[in-house]
Structure 1
């Protein structure tokens, strides 16, 4: 019989909670033809006015390769515009267009209303506790957490070969 892991699957629980909460907002976004990633970018830009792509990645938790495609599609449909920084042509700033600013102004009250419905369903105290707990968890990000030592076994070596990933300093068979 396989060994059972004592701890509950926290990443999976967080993912399920995220999906549960998002399911209440998806109909609003779908009505406006906006994806979740696009909305995260729009909301961040509505709060900060202009951001560099790396700042959008950090704020919206979107990986850089994905963000490049998201921004291109948003630019194609007139949701964002990009401009080079005059003092440093290597840098790019992203901002909302007038069209997407209007869209945010229409969406914001609907999003707020949905938060009120959510608060009524789960309770203001529970929602505030959830916010507080998540804020505390995110503070731990800056604290070092020790990682377990990973054993070198036939299984781990096979997994490395099977995924195409290489361990740091690993030597390929044809290099020996």
Structure 2
């Protein structure tokens, strides 16, 4: 037994980290990699990074959006988004405007070329989703997505 800060006896084995196969952060990373690895070739063929793709996807769902909202929805850090904006804008995948009421705020929108890329990629991504669903099961997929959304809501 060890004594921790509040002087309570704690069994030795509870002070060791969890088996990495059952550690939630690592399990989530492994699951993410298992899924994202299937999409990488599609993105690579179009010279788009995973982060850039998430930005394009978010803007295809809802445009225009404040840059900070895009960063939040796309799970991208604001400094990374700032660097991406120019590259995506140069490729004419997104457009950027300054907020007329607040010059510090930037509004982002999907551009026609960005929508065209989404439309081009959709059949390929749908096929991947279908493969995953066929292997994992539709009910499992729906339950997993529900659970992940609930888990993500814990941060709030």
Instruction: Using structure 2 for the length normalisation, give the TM-score.
Output: 0.82
Name the CA distance, whole Å, in 2 between partners of 1:106 and 1:6. 43
2:45 maps to 31
2: CA distance, partners of 1:101 / 1:134: 27
What is the aligned length?
142
Provide structure 1 residue ranges, at least 5 long, that are not aligned to the other structure.
143-176
Partner of 2:7: none
Counterpart CA distance in 2 for 1:138 and 1:93 is 25
Paired with 2:104 and 2:136, the residues of 1 have a C-alpha distance of: 47
1:121-175 Cα offsets, whole Å, 9 max, x none, are 1111221121111122122222xxxxxxxxxxxxxxxxxxxxxxxxxxxxxxxxx
Partner of 2:105: 91
Residue 132 of structure 1 pairs with residue 141 of structure 2: no
Q: Specify the alignment match of 2:25 in structure 1.
A: 11
Aligned equivalent of 1:174: none
DSSP 3-state at the match of 2:107: strand
1:61 aligns with 2:75: yes
Normalising by the residue count of structure 1, what TM-score does the alignment of the two structures yield? 0.74
Q: Distance in 2 between matches of 1:138 and 1:98?
A: 32
Cα separation, 2, equivalents of 1:100 and 1:138: 28
Task: List aligned pairs for 1:1-176, cutoff 5 A.
Answer: 4-6=16-18, 8-142=22-156
- What is the alpha-carbon distance in structure 2 between the residues aligned to residue 78 and residue 136 of structure 1? 36
CA distance in 1, matches of 2:144, 2:54: 20
**For 1:64 and 1:102, how far apart are their aligned partners in 2?**
26
Q: CA RMSD in A?
A: 1.9
Q: If each structure's helix is expressed as a fraction of its own residues, which one has the higher value?
A: 2
Following TM superposition, by how much is the alpha carbon of 1:23 offset from its aligned partner in structure 2, in angstroms?
0.8
Deviation at 1:76, TM superposition (A): 2.1
Note the C-alpha offset of 1:64.
0.9
Distance 1:78 1:129, change over 3 A: same
Distance (Å, rounded) in 1 between the aligned partners of 2:119 and 2:18 = 47
